[in-house]
């Protein structure tokens, strides 16, 4: 009975009554979010780099040996210059300087190895970030790649730096978050439409493959919608068309979605399985709105068993999902479960399946206890979990399963900003990170239309041990409902923060510049930005 009550809340199945809660490239494998770069990687080698500027980003530049380079961010400039380079011992960044003046010409940061073979025997190329423009490109070291091959690489199929868990990490989002706008959907009006005005039935989760294409999970219509955006918001919306390996597969009350840049992964909650959708891409590396859906893990029968993919493993109520590119991590039945993507093998990382509870920060692995963990995110080293019925945010070290509480007061529902465990949450739900901060949708509860605490977006500082929590958007205890005259307090246009109201905000991600929120019972996707 208790599980049924929680599922109804966590899956939006009876939100109007019980409220908001109670509870890379198409062929590449990312090895890790950030790899250190050393002198031995480039000493006396030739570097081929695709330009970060210009359209369609096809010009490439070559650095030869120790002193030659020809990159000044101008694709039309093909001259070769003499200069020097140095590799930082602190962060592995590479700085190119003019030989005559010693002026720094270019600095590359955020080196990320990308492999095309599952064994990861050698990097196919490196993703690098231009420190000045924060644009990304590919760098090939002593590669036999020809000019004609370079012409096929564009900004569209070069993965954004630090795509991790379906969100863009690596750069802290600029504060203050002074603006909120609606990029898709009609505030206060549910429905199904891919044409203007776009409508959602109940958007509960969102992910992005590259910061330009977004995938929204609609829990009411059991489908996935693809949004493509420009700098101002959504420009096109299409329903993702999927086929199964034998027959079409229908989702049943799906709850969360993530991506590794090539595939989507969905917690198909009421089918008790984890789905994988292999996306289709056009010649420029853009997702085209179609894909092939298969079952990666789970038998379709409710249960709580670890084991082999679709033959042994069972899920009771798979809810949140994230990925580090090698494994999936799923919240299910009071535990955190790990799925090896290549095999579908399921194991328990932290928490005890079927046992709700609370443990102090000394607990590790299956000795730790959660109380209906809902969503989670990762930075590649740790998982960050919304432990909703304990009203806290937990950190799980992936390598050891060690569980600690970083924010929120155990057993205390509220809405107070502050340091770490002195802060309170009324119902932490969606969670994401830019690598420096966590962002949490505190969706609270709405009972028969009565407003309670929550309905806000909270930020947690990861840079110090204080884990300071502050509210960056929304008004605690206020939801966006029509007044007696049928008017909405939020028009959906850019609003000052004191006038922005959310209504059961759920999934949240960042494209590296802005936050995007699936605002469940406002039936919209909201953008929060500086």
The CATH number of the domain where 109 resides is what?
A: 2.40.10
Report residue 40's pLDDT band, with 50, 70 and 90 as the boundaries.
Answer: low
| Among candidate residues 209, 207, 204, 184, the one with its CA nearest the CA of residue 279 | 209
Using pLDDT thresholds of 50, 70 and 90, give the confidence band for residue 362: confident
User: How far apart (Å, rounded) are the C-alpha atoms in residues 187 and 481?
Assistant: 9
Q: Look at the block and give the residue holding tokens 């109940």.
A: 202
- Evaluate whether residue 91 is within a structural domain: yes
Q: Is residue 253 pLDDT above 60, yes or no?
A: yes
* Digit-coded pLDDT (tens) for 60-85: 333 333 333 334 334 444 454 555 65
Domain of residue 197, CATH code: 2.120.10.30
Mean pLDDT, range 2-7, rounded to an integer: 37
Claim to verify: residue 342 and residue 412 sit in the same structural domain = yes
Residue 326: is it exposed, middle or buried by C-beta count within 10 angstroms (0-12/13-18/19+)? middle
Residue 41 has pLDDT above 60, yes or no: no
Domain that holds residue 389: 179-529
Peptide bond into 176 cis (omega under 30): yes
Q: Assess whether 130 and 206 both reside in one domain.
A: no
Residues 249 and 376 in one domain: yes
pLDDT tens string 172-199 = 898 889 899 899 999 989 999 998 899 9
The three-state secondary structure class of 512 is coil
Same domain membership, residue 207 and residue 75? no
Provide the pLDDT for residue 442. Answer: 97
CB 165 within 8 A of CB 215: no
Residue 368 has pLDDT above 90, yes or no: yes
Say whether both 255 and 318 belong to one domain. Answer: yes
Asked if residue 46 is part of any domain, the answer here is: no
Residue 494 lies in a domain: yes
Q: Is residue 166 part of a domain?
A: no
Q: What is the pLDDT of residue 380?
A: 85
Q: Which of 98-112, 274-288, 338-352, 358-372 has the lowest mean pLDDT?
A: 98-112
Mean pLDDT (whole number) for 329-340: 98
| 525's tokens | 């996707």
- Torsion (CA) 191, 374, 442, 325 in degrees, nearest 10: -90
Pair 525, 407 in one domain = yes
**How many Å separate Cα 288 from the centre of its chain?**
20
Residue 40 lies inside a defined structural domain of this protein: no
Interval 468-522: pLDDT, tens: 999 999 988 888 765 555 566 554 444 455 568 999 999 999 988 899 999 999 9
Element (H, E) at 10: helix 2-10
Question: Would you say residue 160 lies in a domain?
Answer: no
* Residue 162, in any domain of the structure: no
Q: How many domains does the chain have?
A: 2
Burial of 190 (0-12, 13-18, 19+ CB in 10 A): middle
Sign of the Cα pseudo-torsion (180, 185, 186, 190, in order) = negative
CA atoms within 13 A on the CB side of 385: 38
**444 and 378 in a common domain:** yes
What is the average per-residue pLDDT within 38-44?
53
Structure-model confidence comparison of residues 306 and 231, the more confident one: 306
Contact 377, 362 (CB under 8 A): no
Query: Do 466 and 525 share a domain, yes or no?
Result: yes
Q: How far apart are CA 165 and CA 330, in angstroms?
A: 12
Whether residue 188 sits in one domain with residue 136 = no
What element of type H or E holds 147? Answer: helix 147-150
371 shares its domain with 485: yes
> What number is the average pLDDT over the span 147-169?
51
Output the CA–CA distances (angstroms, integers) from residue 113 to 42, 50, 110, 124, in the order listed.
14, 15, 10, 8
């Amino acid at each position: 009975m208790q599980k049924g009550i929680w599922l109804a809340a966590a899956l939006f199945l009876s939100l109007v009554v019980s409220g908001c809660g109670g509870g890379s490239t198409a062929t590449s494998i990312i090895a890790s979010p950030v790899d250190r770069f050393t002198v031995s990687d480039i000493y006396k080698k030739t570097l081929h780099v695709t330009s970060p500027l210009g359209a369609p980003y096809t010009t490439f530049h070559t650095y030869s040996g120790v002193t030659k380079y020809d990159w000044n961010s101008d694709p039309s400039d093909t001259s070769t210059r003499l200069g020097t380079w140095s590799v930082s011992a602190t962060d592995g960044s590479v700085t190119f300087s003019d030989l005559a003046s010693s002026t720094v010409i270019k600095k590359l940061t955020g080196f990320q190895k990308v492999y095309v073979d599952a064994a990861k025997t050698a990097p196919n190329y490196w993703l690098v970030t231009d420190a000045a423009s924060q644009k990304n490109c590919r760098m090939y070291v002593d590669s036999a790649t020809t000019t004609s091959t370079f012409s096929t690489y564009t900004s569209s199929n070069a993965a954004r730096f630090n795509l991790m868990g379906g969100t863009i990490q690596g750069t802290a989002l600029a504060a203050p978050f002074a603006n909120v706008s609606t990029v898709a959907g009609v505030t206060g009006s549910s429905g199904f439409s891919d044409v203007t005005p776009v409508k959602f039935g109940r958007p509960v989760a969102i992910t992005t493959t590259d910061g330009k294409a977004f995938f929204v999970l609609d829990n009411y219509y059991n489908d996935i919608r693809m949004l493509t955006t420009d700098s101002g918001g959504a420009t096109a919306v299409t329903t993702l068309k999927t086929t199964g390996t034998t027959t079409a597969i229908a989702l049943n009350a799906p709850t969360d979605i993530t991506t590794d840049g090539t595939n989507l992964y969905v917690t198909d909650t009421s089918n008790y399985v984890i789905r994988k959708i292999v996306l289709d891409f056009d010649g420029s590396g853009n997702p085209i709105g179609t894909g092939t859906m298969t079952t990666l893990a789970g038998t379709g029968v409710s249960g709580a068993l670890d084991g082999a993919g679709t033959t042994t493993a069972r899920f009771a109520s798979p809810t949140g999902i994230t990925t580090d590119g090698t494994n999936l991590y799923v919240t299910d039945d009071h535990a955190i479960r790990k799925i090896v993507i290549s095999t579908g093998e399921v194991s328990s990382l932290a928490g005890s399946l079927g046992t709700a509870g609370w443990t102090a920060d000394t607990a590790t692995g299956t000795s730790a206890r959660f109380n209906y963990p809902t969503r989670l995110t990762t930075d590649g080293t740790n998982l960050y979990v919304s432990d909703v019925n304990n009203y806290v945010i937990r950190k799980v070290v992936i390598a050891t399963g060690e569980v600690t509480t970083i924010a929120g007061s155990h057993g205390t529902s509220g809405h107070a900003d502050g340091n770490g465990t002195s802060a309170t949450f009324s119902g932490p739900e969606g969670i994401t990170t830019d690598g420096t901060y966590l962002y949490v949708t505190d969706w609270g509860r709405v009972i028969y239309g009565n407003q309670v605490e929550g309905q806000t977006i909270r930020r947690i500082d990861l840079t110090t041990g204080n884990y300071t929590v502050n509210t960056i958007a929304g008004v605690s205890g206020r939801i966006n409902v029509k007044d007696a005259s049928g008017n909405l307090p939020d028009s959906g246009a850019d609003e000052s923060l004191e006038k922005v109201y959310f209504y059961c905000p759920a999934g949240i991600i960042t494209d590296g510049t802005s936050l995007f929120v699936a605002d469940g019972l406002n039936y919209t996707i909201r953008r929060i930005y500086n």
